[in-house]
Structure 1
Amino acid sequence: MINKIAVIGVGLIGGSIVRDCKKKWPKLECTGIDINPKNISKAVELGWVDKQGSINDLQNMDVVIISIPVNAIENELKDILDRISPNTLVMDTGSTKNAICKSVENHKNRHQFLAAHPIAGTEYSGPDAALEGLFIDKTMIVCEIEKTQFKLQNRAKEIFETLKCNVRYMTPLAHDKHIAYVSHLSHISSFMLGKTVMQEEESERDIFDLAGSGFESTVRLAKSSPAMWTAIFSQNKEHVIASLDRYVENLSRFRESIMNNDTTTMYKELESTNRIKNILEGIKNGE
């Protein structure tokens, strides 16, 4: 049973974890730590944070959840591990893993850290974005599980079971490479599509009146936190650039097909990509 939990970064992911945990353990006490006092006040008002705390309170916690931008995780993780008791589990939720894991690979309390990344979220941020059930049937990637103390692995397992997520184990490098394609690239695409349309909108004031649900769903991710995503793109620079190079190459070839009125090539490109529907459906069905 978990009695005391601290969340560093009072927002969507940390808040959603706490809300599910409080549902299972009603007496669970949550301490919120955030550089923005308004976030703490809002989370307390919403009921999933019980009180404001500071980094000096970490020694009393069963679990510490770090849900801040990845560059801040890398900078703060050593200090956090310095301040905990021998029985505290520290878990991050960052969207990059290699730099974070390397930053504490030789720390004396490395065995108390679990590197995790829930593949779940929305385009919204802040304490009022936290949702119960956000992680149901979503993937929780865990890296370097063998470096986490066994009893603390079991505590993390309790949390994952409470969230009803599916755990998958990967190396930090594999995580960062794959996530660059399926998450980081899609966010860049959304931001840049939004920018392109907004540039056109400056001279075509009614362009958004014509936008349908397809456009809205495609640019949904462009509502995401710029601070969070700037840090992610920078920290996963190598893999993000590789994914962008491949994406730009495909866009350039498709542009050339349109320019040359090469409908045969256009059709083949679209048709071959249609099979992604079957791939995603197969994954959902566990095939």
Structure 2
Amino acid sequence: MPELPEVEAVVRTLRPLVEGQLIHCVHVFHPIALKPQPTSRLVELATDRCIQRVDRKGKYVLLRLDRGLVTLHFRLDGQLVWFTGAAELLGRANARKNGVHVDVAFEFGKGALGFADRRHFGRVHAWESPNDSSGLASLGIDALSTDFTVARLRELLAESVRPLKDFLLDQTRVAGLGNMYSCESLWHARLDPRRHAKSLKPEEVRRLHKAIVSVLARALECCLHPAPDFRDSQWWFQGLEKILRAYGREGEPCRRCGAAIQRIEQSGRSTYWCRRCQK
């Protein structure tokens, strides 16, 4: 599942392609990608509108129009695909031979942008205002924003009795972290993922804040080198496995103390951690 670093890399790569471009036509190949909104809503709000800016909030991509907003959320497997123009889009979208899966596409004067998710979990929604989106409105502080300070994290932790791992996954608290980077942040901070959030001491809060920021920054650097290639529908981020210290390493030695990395289940998700050095 794309988390904050992957989505931020997508946004930075997408900006020079679409900012300032007019959406001439909206193609909806699979309406399920728009649910629960009707197809007509996206078509009406996005057609003949100019993309003024591409932003990110949490794991959302925001296409800010000259009037209104389009949000893209990749969920588990969503991705973007770039076409040279309408001819290539219509010739390859969901075609049996040399085809590319596309759910929704935005046609510009120069090129076309497709949103694709074969499992149909990802969503594309249109809004007259950001305030109309309950998903955006519910998001907590962005983990890469300047507002994400040690003091703010301390306040949020003090309000929660949930296990640390569940706290970090709660997008209404801190937006952008997913399963992988939550595990990594807790490993770097040497914190037991099962501890109650409010139990952290001031020094432990500082360690956790530093770990979150550094883990996300390093992952973003990795996601940008190489940058996303929207022309290749099979492309995915390379090299992330090289920076992982806990996630997906069950049974392998901890790179800090040598003990075996453990996997436990928390709220239906796998948590990877070192029982010896995470306290």
TM-score scaled by structure 2? 0.26
Larger Rg: 1
Task: Report which of the two has the higher share of strand.
Answer: 2
Task: Report which of the two has the higher share of helix.
Answer: 1
TM-score scaled by structure 1? 0.26
